[in-house]
């Protein structure tokens, strides 16, 4: 990693940091750090944030990011709650708006984004990030396959950038959420972690050594169609039986609840129905939660991360699974004597999904600006 990149990374990660602290962490010389800082300062990307006085030694000037240097747009597309946000470079949401398009037509989404930018952006928007559930080619900006949006081979990034004139990136929604947690959330001070997302489908975003791990085909973390059951009553929507999604997704929970109460339930009414039938709700949430806990324990064993998180989509009413997930996790986790992987529920991460989409654009902005600064 170049010195320029490290300096910007540390300022973003710590919010406020002195050049002396950057020197201690990186081991680079004072002069090379100072010129990297100067370049970013001249651009207006970083600024001074006051002075800290240690008991001994000279006062130190703290550096911080100028978050309103430019803005980004994040768009969350998972067919339930489709939302756009305008954020600063720290991922702080300045404005948000629901998408009009209920049918998720790519051109309509592009129009909605363009209108949103025209209405609310007072600073230049440097990038648009789209978080879509499904299989994504993030390099080409194509949604290869998404059951929730119904898209197959949709070049969504170029459709949006053609309409807005702004560079646009697309990422799997679990990856985007993991990126938001890495930059602004629970993962800020962790080295490696995994976020398991629970909605109609199940996915995972994997962060290793503070970078998103996508794998060879961009499908790393697609754990929803890994076989976990041996004799499930249900066939997964992918056609296989015994997938994790067939026994533990919101779709599966809806189906199991419907069978138990003898009437149809939809994912829209799932939360209300779960409260209405507490006995049956407890049964199905225990079953599904135990399987999810097992999946988390499996991931924790394979990757040995600092933490695993589970993020139920907020509108589904699935927060009551915490006990069952925790139980399943601890019964399946390989016992280690010290520093075991921790498990945490990310229940109220409502705006983190859209901030995750924005963080894709934020990361790309910093990559571009860093190489421009270095070559300037």
Alpha carbon distance 29, 17 (integer Å)? 16
Helix (H) or strand (E) holding 147: none
Q: 172 or 370, CB closer to Zn ion?
A: 172
Alpha carbon distance 52, 62 (integer Å)? 7
Look at residue 197 and give its three-state secondary structure. strand
| Residue 327 in tokens | 């139980």
| Residue 138 in tokens | 């993030």
Alpha carbon distance 111, 116 (integer Å)? 9
CB of 225 to Zn ion, least distance (A): 4
Q: 238 or 336, CB closer to Zn ion?
A: 238
Q: 40 or 243, CB closer to Zn ion?
A: 243
CB of 287 to Zn ion, least distance (A): 17
Distances (CA, A) of 26 to 15, 65, 291, 296, 341: 17, 19, 42, 34, 27
CB of 78 to Zn ion, least distance (A): 17
Q: 245 or 290, CB closer to Zn ion?
A: 245
Q: 38 or 240, CB closer to Zn ion?
A: 240
CB of 249 to Zn ion, least distance (A): 9
Q: Which residues bind to Zn ion, rule: CB under 5 A?
A: 225, 236, 238, 240, 243
Distances (CA, A) of 242 to 129, 226, 254: 34, 8, 16
Q: 144 or 282, CB closer to Zn ion?
A: 144
CB of 132 to Zn ion, least distance (A): 18
CB of 269 to Zn ion, least distance (A): 24
Residue 212 contacts residue 200 (beta carbons within 8 Å): no
Look at residue 151 and give its three-state secondary structure. strand
Kindly state the DSSP code that residue 368 receives in the 8-state scheme. H
Q: 238 or 334, CB closer to Zn ion?
A: 238
CB of 43 to Zn ion, least distance (A): 48
Alpha carbon distance 225, 236 (integer Å)? 8
Nearest to 223 by CA among 316, 302, 144, 138: 302
């Amino acid at each position: 990693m170049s010195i320029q990149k490290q300096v910007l990374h540390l300022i973003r990660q710590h919010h406020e940091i002195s050049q002396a602290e950057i020197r201690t962490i990186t081991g680079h010389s004072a002069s090379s750090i100072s010129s990297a800082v100067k370049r970013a300062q001249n651009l207006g990307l970083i600024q001074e944030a006051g002075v800290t006085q240690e008991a001994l030694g000279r006062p130190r000037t703290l550096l911080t990011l100028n978050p309103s240097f430019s803005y980004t747009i994040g768009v969350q597309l998972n067919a339930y709650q489709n939302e756009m946000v305008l954020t600063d470079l720290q991922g702080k949401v300045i404005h948000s708006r629901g998408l009009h398009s209920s049918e998720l037509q790519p051109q309509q989404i592009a129009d909605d984004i363009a209108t949103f930018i025209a209405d609310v952006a007072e600073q230049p928007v440097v990038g648009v990030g789209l978080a879509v559930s499904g299989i994504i080619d993030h390099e080409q900006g194509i949604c290869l396959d998404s059951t929730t949006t119904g898209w197959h081979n949709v070049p969504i990034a170029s459709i949006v950038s053609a309409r807005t004139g702004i560079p646009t990136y697309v990422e799997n929604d679990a990856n985007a959420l993991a990126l938001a947690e890495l930059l602004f959330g629970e993962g800020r001070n962790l080295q490696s972690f995994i976020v398991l997302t629970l909605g109609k489908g199940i996915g995972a975003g994997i962060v290793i050594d503070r970078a998103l791990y996508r794998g060879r085909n961009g499908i790393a973390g697609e754990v929803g169609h890994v076989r976990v059951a041996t004799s499930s009553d249900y066939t997964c929507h992918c056609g296989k039986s015994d997938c994790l999604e067939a026994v533990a997704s919101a779709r599966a929970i809806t189906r199991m609840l419907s069978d138990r109460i003898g009437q149809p339930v939809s994912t829209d009414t799932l939360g209300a129905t779960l409260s209405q039938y507490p006995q049956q709700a407890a049964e199905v949430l225990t079953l599904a939660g135990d399987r999810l806990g097992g999946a988390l324990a499996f991931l924790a064993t394979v990757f040995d991360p600092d933490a695993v998180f589970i993020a139920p989509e907020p509108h589904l009413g699935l927060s009551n699974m915490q006990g069952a997930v925790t139980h399943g996790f601890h019964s399946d986790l390989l016992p280690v004597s010290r520093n075991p992987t921790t498990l945490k529920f990310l229940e109220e991460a409502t705006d983190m999904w859209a901030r995750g989409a924005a963080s894709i654009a934020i990361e790309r902005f910093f990559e571009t600006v860093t190489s421009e600064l270095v070559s300037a």
